[in-house]
């Protein structure tokens, strides 16, 4: 058997789900981390999975955390199970049934969705009020006026309240349709379509092109790839910002991982955040 691969202590802790590498560096410097019962305050100390690492006396170990980025094509449901859809997103990737989609897109929307079994991170990223920024490109019917752009930017009054300020840019106006880019910092059910409709611009096509630090560069609809360690770290940092914003509020329970609840394929991030069952953001 080959010997276990050494890694930095901070990386070990990050892979055990304790936060970004930077947050884990701080944890180590606080002096609350032990390796084989000795306090270690040096984040780059090498450890392997054979070492006993504990945080405040609780042993921790890297789980098999997986993070995939999928470019959802049209016609695929972004849930784990949908009796009405031909296909669900978890079936687009190998061993996808072990993973949860982070948030939702409606069946006709294309674009980026993260699949993961890291429930704590997923919960944070999906916080309805402080979710990570998401950028969409919408093809809308009609002529986009300056006034409509200003209204979308400032906030529109939807049935579930005013929308938060958004970044909005007209990319192209053609005879009958226009391409508009919009970045939201919150995530509500069918929010983009409802916002455009409220200013008289029905959405004909919608695609999510950015999710926090991730872009769809090189990823065709239907494609997927694993996130790099740096991308996972960037997502964790975004999640920590959300956790700071909600400190004092109930952050919700960590998600049940698929492996822990095989009979309950429908429980997952959307329910866990108390969010609506429809597409967000
Ligand atoms: N907003 C929508 O209207 N639909 C989506 O799928 C995502 C965001």
Give the per-residue pLDDT at 263: 32
Give 109 Cα–ligand 1 centroid separation in angstroms. Answer: 7
pLDDT at res. 56: 95
Please state, in angstroms and rounded to a whole number, the distance separating the CA atoms of residues 61 and 49: 7
Task: State which ligand 1 atom lies nearest to the alpha carbon of 208.
Answer: 7
Nearest to 181, CA basis, from 211, 138, 210, 213: 138
Asked if residue 19 lies in contact with residue 13, where contact means CB atoms within 8 angstroms, the answer is: yes
For residue 194, the CA-to-ligand 1 centroid distance in Å is 9
Q: Does the beta carbon of 105 sit less than 6 angstroms from any atom of ligand 1? A: yes
Residues with catalytic function: 106
Contacts of 217 (CB under 8 A, 6+ apart): none
Give me ligand 1 centre to Cα 147, in Å: 22
* Distant-in-sequence, close-in-space partners of 41: CB < 8 Å, separation ≥ 6: 28, 29, 31, 33
Was domain 134-211 assigned CATH 2.80.10.50? no
Q: Residue 158 has what pLDDT?
A: 97
The pLDDT score that the predictor gives to residue 1 is 54
Query: Does 109 contact ligand 1 (Cβ within 6 A)?
Result: yes
Q: Is the CB of 279 under 6 A from ligand 1?
A: yes
Q: Which two tokens stand for residue 272?
A: 């866990």
Show pLDDT as tens, one digit a residue, over the chain (281 residues).
Answer: 567 789 999 989 988 878 778 889 999 999 999 999 999 999 999 999 889 999 999 999 887 889 999 999 999 999 888 888 889 999 999 988 888 899 999 999 999 999 998 877 887 888 777 778 999 999 999 999 999 999 999 999 999 999 999 999 999 999 999 999 999 998 899 999 999 999 999 999 999 999 999 999 999 999 999 999 899 999 988 888 777 776 655 444 444 333 333 333 333 333 323 333 456 66
Q: Is the CB of 190 under 6 A from ligand 1?
A: yes
Separation between Cα atoms, residue 274 and residue 252, nearest integer Å: 8
Residue 106 CA, closest ligand 1 atom number: 6
Same fold, 7-60 and 134-211: no
Residue 140 forms beta bridges with which residues? 178, 203
According to CATH, what is the number of the domain 67-129+215-265?
3.30.70.580
Residue 208 Cα, ligand 1 centroid: separation in angstroms?
8
Q: Enter the CATH code of domain 7-60.
A: 3.10.290.10
pLDDT at 279: 63
Q: Where are the domains of the chain?
A: 7-60, 67-129+215-265, 134-211
pTM, two decimals, is: 0.78
Q: Is the CB of residue 191 below 6 angstroms from any atom belonging to ligand 1?
A: yes
181 lines ligand 1 (CB under 6 A): no
Which one of 192, 205, 270 would you pick to mutate in the ligand 1 pocket, going by the greatest count of ligand atoms within 8 A of its CB?
192
């Amino acid at each position: 058997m080959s010997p276990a691969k050494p890694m930095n202590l901070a990386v070990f802790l990050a892979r055990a789900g304790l936060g970004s590498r930077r947050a884990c560096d701080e944890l180590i410097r606080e002096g609350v981390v032990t390796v084989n019962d000795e306090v270690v305050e040096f984040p780059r100390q090498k450890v392997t999975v054979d070492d006993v690492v504990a945080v405040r006396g609780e042993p921790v170990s890297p789980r098999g955390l997986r993070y995939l980025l999928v470019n959802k094509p049209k016609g695929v449901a972004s849930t784990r199970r949908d009796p009405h859809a031909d296909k669900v997103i978890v079936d687009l990737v190998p061993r996808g049934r072990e993973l949860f989609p982070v948030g939702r897109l409606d069946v006709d929307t294309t674009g980026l969705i993260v699949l993961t079994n890291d429930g704590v991170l997923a919960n944070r990223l999906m916080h309805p009020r402080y979710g990570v920024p998401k950028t969409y490109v919408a093809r809308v019917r009609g002529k986009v006026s300056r006034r409509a752009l200003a209204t979308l930017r400032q906030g529109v009054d939807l049935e579930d309240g005013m929308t938060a300020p958004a970044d909005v840019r007209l990319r192209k106006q053609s005879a009958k349709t226009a391409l508009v880019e919009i970045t939201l910092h919150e995530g509500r059910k069918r929010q983009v379509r409802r916002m455009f409709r409220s200013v008289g611009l029905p959405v004909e096509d919608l695609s999510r092109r950015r999710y926090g630090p991730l872009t769809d560069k090189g990823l065709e609809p239907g494609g997927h790839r694993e996130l790099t360690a740096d991308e996972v770290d960037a997502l964790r940092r975004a999640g920590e910002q959300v956790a700071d914003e909600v400190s004092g509020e109930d952050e919700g329970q960590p998600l049940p991982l698929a492996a822990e609840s095989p009979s309950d394929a429908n429980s997952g991030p959307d329910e866990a955040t108390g969010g609506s069952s429809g597409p967000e953001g």
